[in-house]
Protein backbone atom coordinates (compact mmCIF):
# COMPACT_ATOMS: atom_id res chain seq x y z
CA UNK A 1 0.00 0.00 0.00
CA UNK A 2 1.37 3.38 -0.97
CA UNK A 3 1.98 5.83 1.85
CA UNK A 4 -0.39 8.46 0.45
CA UNK A 5 -3.11 5.87 -0.07
CA UNK A 6 -2.72 4.80 3.55
CA UNK A 7 -3.37 8.31 4.80
CA UNK A 8 -6.27 9.12 2.46
CA UNK A 9 -7.83 5.73 2.03
CA UNK A 10 -8.84 5.10 5.61
CA UNK A 11 -7.08 1.86 6.42
CA UNK A 12 -9.23 1.63 9.53
CA UNK A 13 -12.88 1.52 8.57
CA UNK A 14 -15.12 2.71 11.36
CA UNK A 15 -12.34 2.82 13.94
CA UNK A 16 -13.30 6.33 14.94
CA UNK A 17 -17.06 5.82 15.05
CA UNK A 18 -18.37 7.84 17.97
CA UNK A 19 -15.02 9.24 18.97
CA UNK A 20 -15.53 12.69 17.46
CA UNK A 21 -19.16 13.17 18.35
CA UNK A 22 -20.05 16.15 20.51
CA UNK A 23 -20.97 15.09 24.03
CA UNK A 24 -23.60 16.77 26.19
CA UNK A 25 -21.15 16.62 29.10
CA UNK A 26 -17.72 18.19 29.26
CA UNK A 27 -14.93 15.76 28.47
CA UNK A 28 -12.10 15.48 30.99
CA UNK A 29 -8.82 16.78 29.59
CA UNK A 30 -6.16 14.17 28.88
CA UNK A 31 -3.70 13.87 31.80
CA UNK A 32 -0.23 15.34 31.37
CA UNK A 33 2.88 13.18 31.47
CA UNK A 34 6.55 14.12 31.48
CA UNK A 35 8.29 14.64 28.15
CA UNK A 36 11.15 12.38 29.18
CA UNK A 37 14.81 12.69 28.16
CA UNK A 38 14.54 11.29 24.65
CA UNK A 39 12.66 13.88 22.61
CA UNK A 40 14.37 13.73 19.19
CA UNK A 41 17.36 15.99 18.66
CA UNK A 42 18.74 14.39 15.49
CA UNK A 43 17.39 16.19 12.43
CA UNK A 44 15.49 14.04 9.94
CA UNK A 45 13.51 14.89 6.81
CA UNK A 46 11.07 11.99 7.07
CA UNK A 47 8.58 12.64 9.87
CA UNK A 48 5.43 11.42 8.14
CA UNK A 49 2.67 9.11 9.42
CA UNK A 50 4.44 5.85 8.47
CA UNK A 51 7.17 5.10 11.01
CA UNK A 52 7.82 1.62 9.62
CA UNK A 53 9.59 2.98 6.53
CA UNK A 54 12.17 5.69 5.98
CA UNK A 55 11.93 7.56 2.70
CA UNK A 56 14.72 6.53 0.34
CA UNK A 57 15.41 3.22 2.13
CA UNK A 58 14.14 -0.21 1.13
CA UNK A 59 14.13 -1.82 4.56
CA UNK A 60 11.21 -2.06 6.98
CA UNK A 61 11.30 -1.55 10.73
CA UNK A 62 11.52 -4.63 12.93
CA UNK A 63 8.65 -5.44 15.26
CA UNK A 64 4.89 -5.90 15.28
CA UNK A 65 3.21 -3.45 12.90
CA UNK A 66 0.17 -1.63 14.31
CA UNK A 67 -2.05 1.31 13.43
CA UNK A 68 -2.66 4.11 15.92
CA UNK A 69 -5.79 6.12 15.19
CA UNK A 70 -7.56 8.74 17.22
CA UNK A 71 -8.81 12.28 17.45
CA UNK A 72 -7.93 15.61 19.03
CA UNK A 73 -10.97 17.09 20.77
CA UNK A 74 -11.95 20.18 22.73
CA UNK A 75 -13.40 19.57 26.19
CA UNK A 76 -16.88 20.17 24.73
CA UNK A 77 -16.33 17.31 22.28
CA UNK A 78 -15.65 19.53 19.26
CA UNK A 79 -12.97 18.12 16.92
CA UNK A 80 -9.84 20.29 16.69
CA UNK A 81 -8.69 20.65 13.09
CA UNK A 82 -5.04 21.22 12.14
CA UNK A 83 -3.61 20.53 15.58
CA UNK A 84 0.06 19.53 15.44
CA UNK A 85 0.47 15.94 16.61
CA UNK A 86 4.13 15.35 17.45
CA UNK A 87 4.98 11.80 18.56
CA UNK A 88 8.09 9.73 19.24
CA UNK A 89 8.87 6.29 20.63
CA UNK A 90 11.44 3.57 21.22
CA UNK A 91 11.99 0.87 18.62
CA UNK A 92 10.89 -2.76 19.06
CA UNK A 93 14.00 -3.47 21.15
CA UNK A 94 13.23 -0.61 23.53
CA UNK A 95 15.82 1.89 22.32
CA UNK A 96 15.38 5.48 21.20
CA UNK A 97 17.35 7.04 18.38
CA UNK A 98 18.82 9.58 20.78
CA UNK A 99 22.46 10.23 21.66
CA UNK A 100 21.81 10.09 25.42
CA UNK A 101 19.98 6.75 25.42
CA UNK A 102 22.43 4.37 27.13
CA UNK A 103 20.30 1.29 26.54
CA UNK A 104 22.49 -1.43 25.04
CA UNK A 105 19.62 -2.69 22.85
CA UNK A 106 20.32 -2.32 19.12
CA UNK A 107 19.20 0.62 17.02
CA UNK A 108 16.93 -0.06 14.06
CA UNK A 109 18.14 1.94 11.07
CA UNK A 110 14.84 1.30 9.26
CA UNK A 111 12.65 2.70 12.02
CA UNK A 112 11.58 6.33 11.71
CA UNK A 113 10.89 6.75 15.42
CA UNK A 114 9.43 10.26 15.15
CA UNK A 115 6.45 11.75 13.33
CA UNK A 116 4.75 15.11 13.14
CA UNK A 117 1.32 15.01 11.52
CA UNK A 118 -1.67 17.39 11.45
CA UNK A 119 -5.12 16.45 12.68
CA UNK A 120 -7.75 16.43 9.94
CA UNK A 121 -11.06 18.27 9.62
CA UNK A 122 -12.67 15.93 12.14
CA UNK A 123 -9.69 16.21 14.46
CA UNK A 124 -8.55 12.75 13.42
CA UNK A 125 -5.01 11.44 13.18
CA UNK A 126 -3.63 8.08 12.14
CA UNK A 127 -0.18 6.60 11.84
CA UNK A 128 1.49 3.29 11.17
CA UNK A 129 4.21 2.10 13.51
CA UNK A 130 5.48 -0.85 15.54
CA UNK A 131 4.82 -1.76 19.16
CA UNK A 132 7.71 -0.19 21.11
CA UNK A 133 9.72 -2.41 23.42
CA UNK A 134 9.97 -1.97 27.17
CA UNK A 135 13.27 -0.76 28.60
CA UNK A 136 14.97 -0.29 31.98
CA UNK A 137 14.50 3.18 33.47
CA UNK A 138 16.44 2.21 36.59
CA UNK A 139 17.64 -0.91 38.41
CA UNK A 140 14.18 -1.61 39.82
CA UNK A 141 11.94 -0.06 37.18
CA UNK A 142 11.20 -1.11 33.60
CA UNK A 143 9.00 1.15 31.53
CA UNK A 144 6.09 -0.51 29.69
CA UNK A 145 5.61 -0.02 25.94
CA UNK A 146 4.41 3.55 25.37
CA UNK A 147 4.32 6.33 22.79
CA UNK A 148 5.01 9.99 23.59
CA UNK A 149 2.68 12.70 22.29
CA UNK A 150 3.08 16.48 22.19
CA UNK A 151 -0.07 18.14 20.84
CA UNK A 152 -0.43 21.85 20.16
CA UNK A 153 -2.90 24.23 18.56
CA UNK A 154 -3.20 28.01 18.77
CA UNK A 155 -5.77 28.88 21.42
CA UNK A 156 -5.25 25.65 23.39
CA UNK A 157 -2.88 24.59 26.15
CA UNK A 158 -0.07 22.44 24.73
CA UNK A 159 -0.28 18.88 26.02
CA UNK A 160 2.58 16.45 26.57
CA UNK A 161 1.42 12.95 27.43
CA UNK A 162 2.04 9.25 26.82
CA UNK A 163 -0.11 6.50 25.34
CA UNK A 164 0.07 3.00 26.84
CA UNK A 165 -1.00 -0.35 25.42
CA UNK A 166 -3.75 -2.45 27.03
CA UNK A 167 -2.93 -5.73 28.74
CA UNK A 168 0.71 -4.87 29.51
CA UNK A 169 1.76 -6.20 32.93
CA UNK A 170 4.31 -3.42 33.34
CA UNK A 171 1.49 -0.85 33.29
CA UNK A 172 0.61 -1.90 36.84
CA UNK A 173 4.06 -1.07 38.20
CA UNK A 174 5.02 1.89 36.03
CA UNK A 175 5.92 4.82 38.27
CA UNK A 176 4.72 7.45 35.78
CA UNK A 177 1.41 5.85 34.93
CA UNK A 178 0.68 5.07 38.58
CA UNK A 179 1.11 8.75 39.47
CA UNK A 180 -2.00 9.52 37.43
CA UNK A 181 -5.19 9.46 39.53
CA UNK A 182 -6.82 6.06 39.17
CA UNK A 183 -10.00 7.59 37.73
CA UNK A 184 -7.99 9.16 34.88
CA UNK A 185 -5.54 6.34 34.22
CA UNK A 186 -7.72 4.51 31.70
CA UNK A 187 -7.73 7.55 29.41
CA UNK A 188 -4.00 7.01 28.77
CA UNK A 189 -4.43 3.36 27.77
CA UNK A 190 -5.39 2.90 24.12
CA UNK A 191 -8.33 0.72 23.11
CA UNK A 192 -7.67 -2.28 20.90
CA UNK A 193 -9.72 -2.41 17.70
CA UNK A 194 -9.63 -5.95 16.23
CA UNK A 195 -8.26 -6.18 12.72
CA UNK A 196 -5.15 -6.74 10.64
CA UNK A 197 -2.89 -5.02 11.34
CA UNK A 198 -3.98 -4.41 14.92
CA UNK A 199 -5.37 -0.95 15.53
CA UNK A 200 -5.26 1.05 18.73
CA UNK A 201 -7.59 3.99 19.32
CA UNK A 202 -6.41 6.95 21.40
CA UNK A 203 -8.46 10.06 22.09
CA UNK A 204 -6.73 13.26 23.22
CA UNK A 205 -8.66 16.11 24.83
CA UNK A 206 -7.13 19.61 25.00
CA UNK A 207 -8.23 22.51 27.16
CA UNK A 208 -8.57 26.05 25.85
CA UNK A 209 -5.82 28.51 26.76
Question: Taking the domains of the chain in order of start, what are their residue ranges?
Answer: 3-206
**Active-site choice (95, 98, 135, 200):** 135
Is the pTM of the predicted complex or chain greater than 0.85?
yes
The predicted pLDDT at position 31 comes to 98
Is position 96 annotated as part of the catalytic site? yes
Is position 164 annotated as part of the catalytic site? no
DSSP-derived letter for residue 123 is S
Topology classification of domain 3-206? Protocatechuate 3,4-Dioxygenase, subunit A (2.60.130)
Kindly report, residue by residue over 94-119, the tens digit of the pLDDT: 999 999 999 999 999 999 999 999 99
**33-52 burial, b if ≥16 CB within 10 A, otherwise e?**
beebebebeeeeeebbbbbb
Kindly report, residue by residue over 50-59, the tens digit of the pLDDT: 999 999 999 9
**Active-site choice (96, 98, 164, 200):** 96
**Active-site choice (95, 98, 146, 200):** 146
48, 104 Cβ separation under 8 angstroms:
no
End-to-end CA distance of the chain: 40
The CA distance from 125 to 69, in Å, is 6
DSSP-derived letter for residue 16 is T
**Active-site choice (95, 98, 143, 164):** 143
| Residue 15 predicted with pLDDT over 60 | no
Is position 98 annotated as part of the catalytic site? no
Amino acid sequence: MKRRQFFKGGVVTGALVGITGVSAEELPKTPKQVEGPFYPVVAQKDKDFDLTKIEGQEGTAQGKVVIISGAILNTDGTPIEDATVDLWQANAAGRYNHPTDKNEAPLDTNFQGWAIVPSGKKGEFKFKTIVPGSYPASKDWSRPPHIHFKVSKLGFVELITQMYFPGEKLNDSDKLLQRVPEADRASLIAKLIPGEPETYEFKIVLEKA
